[in-house]
Amino acid sequence: MAKKKVQEKKKYDNPDVVGLRAEVLEQPITETLETNYMPYAMSVIVSRAIPEIDGFKPSHRKLLYTMFKMGLLGGGRTKSANIVGQTMKLNPHGDAAIYETMVRLSAGYQALLTPFVDSKGNFGKVYSRDMSYAASRYTEARLSAICAEIFRDIDRDTVDFTDNYDGSMKEPTLLPTAFPNVLVSANSGIAVGMASQICGFNLNEVCETTINYLRDGGHDILSTMPAPDFPTGGEIIYDRTEMENIYRTGRGSFKVRARWRFLPKENIIEIYEIPYTTTSEAVIDKVAELIKSGKIREINDMRDETDLGGLRLAIDLKRATDADKLMQKLFKMTTLQDTFPCNFNILVAGNPKVMGVREILDEWTAWRTECVRRRVYFELSKKKDKLHLLKGLEKILLDIDKAISIIRNTELESEVVPNLMMGFGIDQIQAEYVAEIRLRNINREYILKRTAETDELERDIEELEATLNNRRRIRSIIIDELKQINKKFVTPRKTGIVYADEVEEFDESEQIEDYPVTLFLSREGYFKKITAQSLRMCGEQKYKEGDALLQSFESSNRRELLLFTDRQQLYKARVHDFEDGKASTLGVYLPGKLQMDEGENVLAMIDPGDYTMPLLLVFENGKAARIEASAYETKTNRKKLINAYSDKSPLKAVIPLPEETEIACFSSDGRALVFSSALLQTKTSRTTQGVNVMALKAKRSLVSAAPLAQTQIKNISRYRARSLPAAGALLKPEDRGEEQLSLIEE
């Protein structure tokens, strides 16, 4: 068990504190975590970062309830500073945090499709990083009309109340939302060890879906709620399979892109809606970076022309620019097309749970059903209490004079109620009610009017009891309320839907000029790309002193390269990333260009083509591994792959095998071996060492390998092996090329 370091008791050297002793007590770290860290983690999860089934975090709930108690539902606006100050009675986290919460819930900020705060003044914009909100003393706010459905019947015992942090007042544990606000309001939070990311859905679509789901549990949710909806608009690139997975599991992601239009007269692209996940400044910064690096050459200028009318990013185009092609490129390279990750993590009865849409609707329905039941029971109790009082009043009707006589002839005030109880056979509550009737109301007319309500109350009680015991009636009430909300709050969909098969993706290769080139790699890692015309005109290749050619082959400007290094790593590069060179230059130093690790060197350069051919990796210990090039294919733009091959022995050669061919291996003791690549089976793991190919004597090693056609061997049959491993044969003088001679140990 890990323990804290123990320090023995000792006196301080400072004479001013002589006699003072310091002691560190021994404590298991598990106990420290349990007593200190775990309560903090639970507090963040349960009381701060994760929304509950009503769709609110505690900070949201405290703010809205404070505004409700201030009479800001249906009333006039008040200064935001006043609201912030009052909210601190429930939320003691500081005025800045409270005001930021209000800003996010406001209509002005536009972070929610259905905002809860009706704001006046500058509340900033969710799509702008630099457009900050004004101070709370300058802005005003009140509750939006939709909050009437959030607080519906909150005073009828629909939810539990608890003490605030100092016990001076009560606050609701949840708000009795009459619609599934947990799906309507976008929410995100990072807790300890978990997070939540809930996208918002259209209010009308959510209500319609809930109504249909309550009527039919097998309802196809995607038919009435096809996709999320964002206040910033844009377009969702719709993939039904992907969306079904999100709806089913509560996890997944989808793509959102900006909306734009081309103004041919001004030769301008106007972007007027951007993804919810980005800001206008982030887009402009990225475009500026792309222009500066030369990756985008079609743009003259880009400006932010956002005003009171809304977002507007203007892009001035160069002449003859294809706007559609440019936007495809911007979607690919900037956050004008972004991914929204979903993680529907919600607190249910204090426990975090990741749920799909159907499960969320189940939980909300169960919770809302309980709210309605509690409201019905509250009304039932009130009516029963009133009926009970009226039943007592009915008995007084039988003899009003007797009641007056009892009250008049009772000497002590404390005996009035007991005497009425005995005189009419009523209980204490009824007697108290009778005793409190004013003298002017002790007449037959008043009493008859009051007791006439008895029959109506009895009918109401019977109806409420039937509702309380009938689950279908409860659901009918929920459905009726959802219909009213749907009719009252019409919310047009803001985010469009574009099907994935209709979207044209940017193909970078189409934008790159393709032409034949010859690639050169030196032993010290210098790379050259030379065109056919330049190669015909050039003379001898130039290298640094002591350097020489390692590899050379023909390729094209659109191809991709795999560069194996001596650190079991592989770097990917595109030929077009390098400028055309000349034979008279040293070329580009690859370790610097590709940001390799210090001291890392390039061993081999491969053109993988379409990643369908095998590669043969030959190691110093005489082993060889045949691996598919697809093992190095990546869907993302990763430039570096670790663990590219086995680290058991140094790599000596990487040979592409577009077709089966014969391979020649050379050892340090002057032997050569020729075998067919067809003798080796393909391995699935790229870190495999493969199989023994060349049998080596002690202290001997394999020094090189190459396709037989690239060697000087003439007596092929002398060195050919029909089975592996094999030792090969000593090289004859006529079979030795300069390269092989230089590799043989003396």
Residue 713 CA to chain centroid, in angstroms? 60
Residue 40: Cβ within 10 Å count:
10
User: Treating both helix axes as pointing N-terminal to C-terminal, what angle do 80-87 and 58-69 enclose, rounded to 10 degrees?
Assistant: 110
Helix (H, G, I), strand (E, B) or coil at 443: coil
- Residue at 81: amino acid letter: A
What's the token pair of residue 111?
Answer: 């972070």
Rounded Cα gap, residues 603 and 200, in angstroms: 52
Tell me the torsion sign for CA atoms 432, 433, 436, 441: negative
CA dihedral 427, 433, 439, 443 (to 10 degrees): -70
The upper half-sphere exposure of residue 107, i.e. CA atoms within 13 Å in the direction of its Cβ, equals 15
The verdict on whether omega for the bond into residue 707 sits within 30 degrees of 0, i.e. cis, is no
Strand-pair category, 345-348 with 602-606: unpaired
User: Residue 505 contacts by C-beta under 8 Å, 6 or more apart in sequence?
Assistant: 328, 332
- Residue at 455: amino acid letter: D
For 45-97, the DSSP string reads: IIIIIS-BTTS--HHHHHHHHHHHHTT-BSS--EEHHHHHHHHTTT--S-HHH
Question: Are 680 and 616 a contacting pair, CB within 8 Å?
Answer: yes
Residues designated catalytic: 138
Question: Are 61 and 181 a contacting pair, CB within 8 Å?
Answer: no
Rounded Cα gap, residues 488 and 152, in angstroms: 15
What's the token pair of residue 521?
Answer: 């790699």
User: Residue 361 contacts by C-beta under 8 Å, 6 or more apart in sequence?
Assistant: 180, 183, 209, 210, 213, 221
The upper half-sphere exposure of residue 476, i.e. CA atoms within 13 Å in the direction of its Cβ, equals 6
DSSP code of 35?
I
Q: For the stretch 602-621, what's the b/e string if a residue is b when 16 or more beta carbons lie within 10 angstroms of its beta carbon?
A: bbbbbbbeeeebbbbbbbeb
Residue 393 burial by CB count (10 A; 0-12/13-18/19+): exposed, middle or buried? buried
What's the token pair of residue 173?
Answer: 């544990």
For 648-705, the DSSP string reads: SS-EEEEEE-SS--EEEEEETTSEEEEEEGGGSPEES-TT---EE-B---TT--EEEE
Which secondary-structure segment (H or E) carries 394? helix 357-397
Residue 414: Cβ within 10 Å count:
7
